[in-house]
């Protein structure tokens, strides 16, 4: 009897185990030839039941309903897991392993990401974050980012200036795809020459940064990755209109020419031709502007050989007109009837990039970049004339490899730069040529869990700065989960482009004085600074949801600086630092997702930026000691049709800022010591209809905050007290805009 029961129990098992599944495994190839894979492993997931394919690539394997995942693997090929729901004959093509690291697109990513793993303090700003402000160009892309401060440079040209760690953009190395781009002649307006839609992502590195891209960076590095023909939308159109009379149109057309070549044409145009003088000071609140900006990219990708190459061509033409409402350039230029200004810029750029990754040895790679740019600006500000031509050549070669294993990486290479400046300031010519040749070596160690370190050094020979060494070191330590302690130090050295970087001085009646002789750069010495920083990032769960907090402290200590002294209201003088100049910054930032779709970000910053002027140690003008920042973003769930609502609001509060001294001015042209505090609120609403089409509306400064008298001496613009540099807040007041985006992927 017992035996019969046993048989009854065993019988079904035997019956089932007799079921089997068979098939053939083939090698995927371009010609779709049927190449059998011999000896491939075929097995049921999480079981011991498996086999290998025979000489014809065939296999047979026992089957049962409980087995649903069949794994097929073979050395040199991607492992596939296929779902089997019923007994059938299987034919499967296995893909050879691609050795180039593939870009993995994650489905749900944060707009701004902080790394727990890198040694450097890097923030990656994705295109999602960039869409939070209808940013028309790069200078407006940082509005939702507390690490970067954006303010107006002056009250007439509408130029926005960015600051990091309390220092202005000349102290930040700004690169486009790792090629230094916003420098020299383009320092003042260059950020407005990169349209926002061209930007794929931005990497912001606080502190010294890497030695690979040169010796100039002091406060940090900002790298912009542009959209790429192979991955950008086939067609993309963005149209924008603002009530301040600004219209923008962006068009991207990308095409794959073959399976290796693709090309993209990016066209940007903007126009602002309406005159506004809301504060009735007889001056335009926003300048008139027209810009045409073209880029053509050619991309070559050969995965088998491990080659990626880009060729970029760019052309820009920008015309800005600012000044008094009734100023007519053709009639009033060079006269004292009305004050006006025109800035005409033409820029041409060619850049090439070649990257080679050894397909057999993925850690060995070589990159070569070259870039040539020619930048020509002709401008006048009232009776001041300023013209600059800057031709620049940049070449950099980087070799990557490892020492013993991939935890020890090295980067080494050489770079060459050539810059020729030809400037015409009122009636004086200033000409200089700078060349440098340098070599760099960077070692990075990653123990894969708790600790990593990047230490770099470069040595450069520069015709005006001499021969010098630039060391930069970053470390990260994560003693517990979701934590990262970071520390860095590094040195930076640069020549100050006193006129190009301080063009706002031309929109004043100040006399320009260079107070030093004997230095190599227009009589002045190179700027040298050390930057030290520590930061702590901690991720945690708050009420079961993800949150993180970051504390940063950075210190920049100038050994020499070209001091720009506005303390005498009749002049602006440049001289070498005697004494101390430093910028200390502290920042605390908190990010939180309280529930699905909502992102909160809040930050507080404290700055202490002081310089020993000839009149004593003072806080640098127009640098707030305290800043508070808050951003809230909300997204509804993406529906099946791909529609979604997105809402975003950013609040900014700036504490009091010091005005440079106006004590020697007549009473009516004197300003208080400090500015009032300023707070602004920006919002944006986007309706995504589908993956193809979306519209957005937004408001900047919706509480309509305005600086009452942004220009000093408007009653007599050609008199000795005219000054447009005392700007601390919005001039135009509230501004609303609307736009649309259309894409075909």
By CB under 8 A, name the binding residues for another protein.
41, 43, 47-48, 50, 71, 73, 75-79, 97, 101, 104, 106, 108, 360-363, 402, 404-407, 447-449
Residue closer to another protein (CB basis): 40 or 182: 40
Phi-psi category of 245—alpha, beta or left, where left has phi over 0 and alpha has psi -120 to 50? left
- Beta carbon of residue 156, minimum distance to another protein (angstroms, whole number): 50
Residue closer to another protein (CB basis): 33 or 405: 405
- C-alpha 292/C-alpha 271 separation (Å) is 9
Phi then psi for residue 667, to 5 deg, are -45, -45
Cβ neighbours of residue 258 under 8 Å, at least 6 residues apart?
none
- Beta carbon of residue 585, minimum distance to another protein (angstroms, whole number): 31
- Beta carbon of residue 37, minimum distance to another protein (angstroms, whole number): 14
Phi then psi for residue 15, to 5 deg, are -60, -45
- Beta carbon of residue 196, minimum distance to another protein (angstroms, whole number): 29
The residues that bridge with 10 in the sheet, in sequence order, are none
For residues 712 and 692, the answer to whether their CB atoms sit within 8 Å is no
| Tokens encoding 122 | 């890097």
Residue closer to another protein (CB basis): 45 or 431: 45
Residue closer to another protein (CB basis): 50 or 439: 50
- Beta carbon of residue 47, minimum distance to another protein (angstroms, whole number): 7
N-terminal to C-terminal alpha carbon distance within the chain? 70
User: How many residues are given for the chain?
Assistant: 745
Q: What is the DSSP letter of 684?
A: E
**Sign of the C-alpha dihedral, residues 67, 72, 73, 74?**
positive
- Beta carbon of residue 593, minimum distance to another protein (angstroms, whole number): 13
Residue closer to another protein (CB basis): 41 or 674: 41
Residue closer to another protein (CB basis): 76 or 672: 76
- Beta carbon of residue 706, minimum distance to another protein (angstroms, whole number): 46
- Beta carbon of residue 73, minimum distance to another protein (angstroms, whole number): 6
- C-alpha 628/C-alpha 596 separation (Å) is 25
Residue closer to another protein (CB basis): 358 or 674: 358
Q: How far is CA 437 from CA 176, 215, 393, 522, in A?
A: 21, 11, 12, 22
> Can you spell out the DSSP letters for 542-603?
ETTEEEEEEEEEEEEEEEE-EEEE--STTEEEEEE--S-EEEEEEEEEEEE--STTEEEEEE
Residue closer to another protein (CB basis): 32 or 106: 106
Residue closer to another protein (CB basis): 29 or 81: 81
- Beta carbon of residue 46, minimum distance to another protein (angstroms, whole number): 8
Q: Is 79 helix (H, G, I), strand (E, B) or coil?
A: coil
* CB atoms near residue 655 (< 10 Å): 18
> Can you spell out the DSSP letters for 645-659?
EEEEEEEEEE---BP
- Beta carbon of residue 113, minimum distance to another protein (angstroms, whole number): 13
CA of residue 390 relative to chain centroid, distance: 23
Q: Is 113 helix (H, G, I), strand (E, B) or coil?
A: strand
Residue closer to another protein (CB basis): 404 or 427: 404
For residues 328 and 342, the answer to whether their CB atoms sit within 8 Å is no
- Of 681, 686, 705, 688, give the one whose Cα is nearest residue 696: 686
- Beta carbon of residue 504, minimum distance to another protein (angstroms, whole number): 47
Residue closer to another protein (CB basis): 407 or 617: 407
- C-alpha 27/C-alpha 724 separation (Å) is 70
């Amino acid at each position: 009897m017992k035996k019969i029961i046993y048989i009854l129990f065993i019988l079904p098992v035997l019956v089932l185990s007799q079921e089997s599944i068979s098939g053939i495994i083939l090698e995927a190839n371009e010609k779709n030839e049927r190449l059998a894979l011999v000896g491939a492993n075929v097995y049921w997931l999480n079981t011991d039941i498996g086999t290998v394919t025979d000489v014809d690539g065939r296999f047979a394997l026992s089957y049962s309903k409980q087995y649903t995942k069949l794994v097929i693997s073979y050395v040199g090929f991607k492992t596939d897991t296929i779902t089997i729901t019923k007994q059938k004959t299987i034919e499967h093509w296995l893909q050879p392993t691609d050795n180039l690291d593939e870009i993995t697109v994650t489905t749900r990513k944060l707009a701004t990401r902080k790394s727990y793993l890198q040694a450097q303090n890097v923030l990656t700003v994705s295109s999602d974050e960039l869409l939070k402000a209808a940013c028309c160009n790069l200078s407006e892309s940082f509005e939702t980012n507390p690490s970067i401060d954006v303010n107006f440079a002056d009250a007439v040209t509408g130029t926005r200036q960015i600051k990091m760690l309390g220092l202005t953009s000349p102290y930040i190395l700004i690169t486009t795809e790792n090629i230094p781009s916003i420098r020299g002649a383009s320092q003042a307006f260059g950020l407005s020459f990169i349209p926002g839609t061209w930007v794929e992502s931005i990497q912001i590195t606080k502190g010294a940064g890497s030695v690979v891209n040169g010796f100039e960076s002091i406060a940090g590095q900002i790298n912009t990755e542009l959209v790429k023909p192979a991955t950008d939308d086939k067609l993309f159109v963005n149209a924008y209109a603002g009530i301040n009379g600004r219209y923008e149109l962006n068009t991207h057309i990308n095409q794959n020419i073959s399976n290796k070549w693709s090309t993209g044409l990016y066209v940007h145009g903007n126009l602002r031709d309406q005159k506004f003088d809301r504060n009735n000071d007889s001056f335009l609140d926003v300048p008139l502007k027209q810009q045409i900006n073209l880029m053509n990219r050619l991309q070559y990708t050969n995965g088998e050989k491990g080659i990626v190459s880009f060729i970029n061509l760019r052309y820009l033409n920008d015309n800005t007109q600012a000044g008094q409402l009734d100023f007519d350039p053709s009639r009033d230029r060079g006269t004292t009837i009305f004050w006006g200004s025109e800035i005409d810029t033409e820029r041409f750029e060619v850049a090439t990039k070649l990257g080679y990754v050894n397909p057999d040895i993925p850690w060995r790679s070589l990159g070569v970049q070259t870039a040539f740019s020619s930048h020509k600006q002709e401008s006048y500000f009232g009776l001041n004339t300023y013209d600059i031509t800057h031709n620049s050549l940049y070449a950099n070669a980087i070799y990557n490899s490892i020492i013993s294993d991939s935890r020890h990486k090295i980067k080494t290479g050489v770079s060459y730069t050539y810059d020729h400046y030809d400037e015409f300031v009122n009636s004086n010519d200033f000409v200089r040529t700078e060349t440098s040749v340098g070599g760099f070596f960077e070692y990075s160690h990653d123990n894969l869990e708790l600790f990593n370190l990047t230490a770099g050094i470069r040595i450069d020979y520069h015709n005006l700065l001499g021969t010098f060494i630039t060391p930069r070191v970053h470390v990260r330590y994560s003693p517990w989960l979701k934590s990262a302690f970071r520390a860095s130090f590094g040195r930076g050295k640069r020549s100050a482009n006193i006129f190009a970087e301080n063009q706002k001085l031309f929109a004043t009646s100040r006399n320009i004085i260079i107070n030093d002789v004997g230095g190599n750069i227009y009589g002045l010495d190179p700027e040298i600074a050390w930057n030290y920083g520590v930061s702590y990032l901690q991720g945690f769960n708050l009420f079961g949801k993800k949150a993180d907090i970051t504390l940063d402290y950075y210190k920049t200590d100038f050994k020499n600086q070209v001091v720009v002294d506005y303390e005498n209201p009749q002049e602006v003088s440049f001289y070498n630092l005697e004494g101390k100049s430093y910028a200390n910054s502290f920042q605390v930032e908190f990010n939180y997702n309280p529930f699905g779709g909502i992102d909160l970000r809040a930050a507080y910053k404290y700055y202490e930026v002081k310089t020993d002027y000839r009149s004593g140690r003072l806080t640098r003008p127009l640098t707030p000691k305290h800043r508070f920042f808050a951003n809230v973003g909300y997204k509804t769930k993406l529906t099946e049709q791909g529609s979604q609502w997105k809402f975003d609001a950013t609040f900014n509060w700036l504490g009091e800022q010091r005005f440079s001294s106006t004590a020697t001015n007549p009473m009516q042209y004197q300003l208080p010591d400090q500015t009032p505090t300023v707070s602004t609120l920006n919002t944006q609403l986007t309706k995504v209809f589908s993956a193809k089409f979306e519209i957005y509306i937004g408001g900047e400064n919706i509480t309509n905050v305005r600086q009452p008298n942004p220009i000093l001496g408007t009653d007599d613009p050609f008199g000795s007290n005219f000054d447009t540099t005392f700007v601390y807040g919005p001039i135009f007041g509230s501004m609303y805009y609307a736009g649309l985006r259309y894409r075909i992927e």
